[in-house]
Structure 1
Amino acid sequence: MPAQYKDKEALALIREKLWEKAKANRITLADVEDRTEFSYSQVYRILRGKNNFSYSHLIAICKALGIQPRDIFDFDILLPDYPPVRKDRKKNLEGKMLRSKILQ
């Protein structure tokens, strides 16, 4: 995994929702700057940019926009088809090893 994990698609969805809420509530980037005490460039990078941001920043932005975090996370993501969890893999491996010993 990269040094700093970024899910660009999910970040884009979150930013889109934040920007929609800001526009709907008629809150400007300068208003968010005033309400969060973040710099204007930091607010811009969170709401319009492409870099990662922390949960704490996201919560502060939600408060500044007068919205709940659930309003932002109301979307689906594509879930990878992962292998079974470790405890189930171990059982499967043990079962395969037992069967192979019996068959020999």
Structure 2
Amino acid sequence: MEIGDDHGGMCFATGCTVGKGNLRKAGWGRLGLTLIEKASNRAVRIRYKPILQPRIVESAFMKKRGMGIMPDEIPETEQTELVDLVWNVPEAGIMTIEEIFQ
């Protein structure tokens, strides 16, 4: 995990954890991770392409979050708009998945 300490989102998204030893912290300050299969010691590196970042920042949802409005107080249509923005982009459009290595 390249983004530093205390970022649990990768664990929720992948099921990998630092405690299990299949996710390691690097603290490089960027959104990327290396997932490790302990039995074979194979791994794959995945990193985020910040292509959508400007659109995410400008979304109504993020503007309201920046004002301190809690997510459940933001209209569902504005929540869905942001989710759809990310959900509808092809995988290759938002992340790089490198070759499996040992």
Structure-2-length-normalised TM-score = 0.30
**Which has the greater radius of gyration?**
1
More helix by share: 1
- TM-score, structure 1 normalization: 0.30
